[in-house]
Every structure is written in C-alpha cells, then in structure tokens.
Amino acid sequence: MIRPVTAADLPAFHTVMLAAGMDPRSSWNRTTLEGLEQSLFAPGSGGFVAVCGGEVCGCVGFRPDREDTLTLNRLATLPDMRGQDIGAALVRAVETVAAERGFRRVLLAVSQFNLEVVPYYERLGYVQANEIYAFASPGSPVPVVLVKRIVGIGSTDLDNRLAEITQKLAELKKLDVNHLIFGSEIHRYELHPPISKEQLGKTAQSFGIDFPEDYAQFLTTVGNGGAGPDYGIFSLDESLELCNTLAIGREFPHRKAWQPLVENLSDGTPRGQGKIPYYINNPVTELDRKKQRAWNEFYYDGNNSSGSMCIGEQGCGHMTLLVVCGPERGNIWVDSRATNYGITPLKKDKSGTTFLQWYEDWLDQAVEQLRGKND
C-alpha cells in the first residue's frame, strides 16, 4: 500500500533510507530526522511511504523546484523487499502529484556514488539532462540530473507531443552512440536547461512579439536549445543575437519562395531562381563592382528576413528561420542567401511546417534510419 507520509512515519522513513545501502561517502547517510522533517513538511513538499505487512518498507519525498518542476528525492526500499516494483509505485505516486498540481516535469538527481541506478530511472521514462541540481549538497560531487515530462490532468495535444519528443530524444541518444546522424557530434543529443516562463515573457515583451506556442513551450519545458535538426537548435539568446532585432517585430515579408531576378552583369541576360550571375561573386569591371555592392546591400538587407529569428544552422551557410510575425507566423523557412538560393519555406503541406513538425520529423527520420542500421 502506498500512502502519504505523516509525522509519525518519520523514524521508519529514516530507517528505510539508512538501510538502503548507499555509499558511505554520500550525503544521503548524513540525513537527520530533523532535516528529514524540514524537507518533507516544507510548504509544497511531501512524500509517500510503502507499507508491507503493516511496516514501512519504502519511501520517497518531493518538493517544488521552479514553477514547472517537482523534484523527487529520498527514494528507497528495504533491501529484502526489492524486485516487487515498490520503488516504481512510489515514483508514480510523485508523478501523480505533479500532474494534479500542474507541474510539467519531475526532476531527480543521482549521486556520483550511486550511478548504477541511472538505468533504473531511464526504464521509468527519465532522461539525463544537462542541468544543475538546485539542492545539491555543498562539497559533494555534481550529481547526474534526470527529468521526465508529465502529462497533466486536462493536458493538451501539445503537452502530449512534447512529452513524446523527450522520450524519442532519449531513444535516439541510445541508438546513436557513434553519432552517425548529421550534426549530432556537435549537440550530442543534449538539451540546455529550460528557460523560465517569466524570462521568456519579458523577452517577448521587450521585442513586441508573441512567440509561437509550440516553440515557447519547448523552450520552457523541454530545453532552451541544444539537440535538434542539423547542428541543433540555438538558445533564445543566441537566436536573438543572430537576427535583426530592430525588425523582428515587423511582419515577415514573404509568402512564397523569394529569390529576386537579377541581370547578368556582363551581358544583361536575366537569370532566375538560384542562378545568381558569376560576376556577382567575381566582379571584373568597376561597373561589376558597383553593381555587386548595390546587389549585396539589397540582397542581404536584414529587412528581407524581418519578423523571423534564426533558430539553427544547417551547414554551408543555410540557416533555419522561425517566423514570429505575420501570416507565416509559426512556420519554418530556410535562409540560403549565403549560397544564392534566397529564402524559401520548408513545406510539409500547403500550410507550411511548424516548429514542432520540423522537430518531430527530424526525430522520426533519425530513429527510423538508425533502427534500419541496427536491424
């Protein structure tokens, strides 16, 4: 039986913890009854005990960490009661609390002295995250942080898709240990810690924009950049550094592929899509150079990508844009001006490709590719 912990359970809770057989170097073994009481019964905190034959045989605690995260801690079962899924039941109890309270994820930290339990948590759906544990014991080695997205009560389709992305990314990391997928040797399937909703809101307000919902929730619940298509996704700050911040709040100017016609500077012959004249990049006469300067000022003007932000690099100068203003808001475009192919939409269907569709397609294709290699 799993039930909420009470003050009367503290001695038994403490006994189960100390009986878990943790490495003597771990701060776990320095837990006192007083410290345990303060941790379990602080505002918003709590815990559960598992009762077997009338005696406490397992325990777990939790406490809030930021607005979207519930931290799981102090999970333990008596050695002779292991193998009966008591630990998993206690973890599910904490996850239920997270869902009921509207937390989007559960986070836990594993001591460097107890790394053999990491696979256990991964089987329960937790994935390693490149985050700093807010409650780490001073003087102890930096713990390994694992997180799991929680689909809450009344959750939306977007919540479900983001939770599935987290699981697929963990699978992809396991499948691609040799980094066969293009760009993975750069991001190594690691995500940066999520950004707070407050910080994201302040950024949006300062630039007068409204970030697309799927992108915003990705940043605040999955990761603020890191693993993703091609060489990965830029953090919000990196994206803003690369865009024309003076024009980001203006409407994105394109509705279809943009590659203006230019005349051949030597013979006046018009050229079309993707066929910038040779003399643009290799001027011969002074007239060529004059027209080249005029062309570059026009072609690479930041206003040609206004209302968008660069969220990733594809290689060879191709950049991934996310439109944040105008009718194309929420869709992915590709800026290939560096290779003279203009700015073009990444089309999945007539309505374009959204941020989440782009990310999901990358995951699905990469997993399918690696499963084929491993069969």
**How far lies 258's CA from each of 41, 221, 284, in Å?**
60, 34, 27
3-state SS, one letter per residue, for 79-131:
HHHCCCCHHHHHHHHHHHHHHHHCCCEEEEEECCCCHHHHHHHHHCCCEEECC
The predicted pLDDT at position 274 comes to 44
Q: Give me the pLDDT at residue 77, please.
A: 95
Written as six digits, the tokens of 300 are 């690479």
- In the chain, what are the helix, strand and coil shares in percent, each to the nearest 5? 40, 20, 40
CA distances from 151 to 88, 101, 145, 271, 364 (A): 17, 11, 20, 53, 21
Helices (H), the chain: 10-19, 33-40, 86-101, 118-123, 157-175, 184-187, 197-207, 213-217, 236-242, 278-281, 286-299, 355-374
Cα distance between residue 298 and residue 153, in whole Å: 52
pLDDT of residue 267: 46
Nearest to 120, CA basis, from 62, 72, 187, 159: 72
CATH of 2-149, one of 2.40.480.10, 3.20.20.100, 3.40.1180.10, 3.40.630.30: 3.40.630.30
The number of angstroms, rounded, from the C-alpha of 17 to the middle of its chain's C-alpha atoms is: 33
Residues of the chain with CATH 3.40.630.30: 2-149
pLDDT at 269: 42
The pLDDT, as a whole number, for residue 349 is 61
Nearby residues of 369 by Cβ (< 8 Å), 6 or more positions away: 180, 181
| C-alpha to C-alpha distance for 115 and 181, rounded to whole angstroms | 28
pLDDT score for 272 = 41
List Cβ neighbours of 1 (8 Å cut-off, separation of 6 or more): 50, 51
pLDDT score recorded for residue 271: 43
* Averaged pLDDT of the chain: 87
- Residue segments in the chain with a per-residue pLDDT below the cut of 70: 152-156, 261-284, 348-350, 373-375
> What confidence score (pLDDT) does residue 135 get?
80
Tell me the pTM: 0.66
What pLDDT is attached to residue 373? 64
Sign of CA dihedral 39, 42, 43, 46: positive
Structure tokens at 188: 């190594």
| Tokens, residue 254 | 């394109």
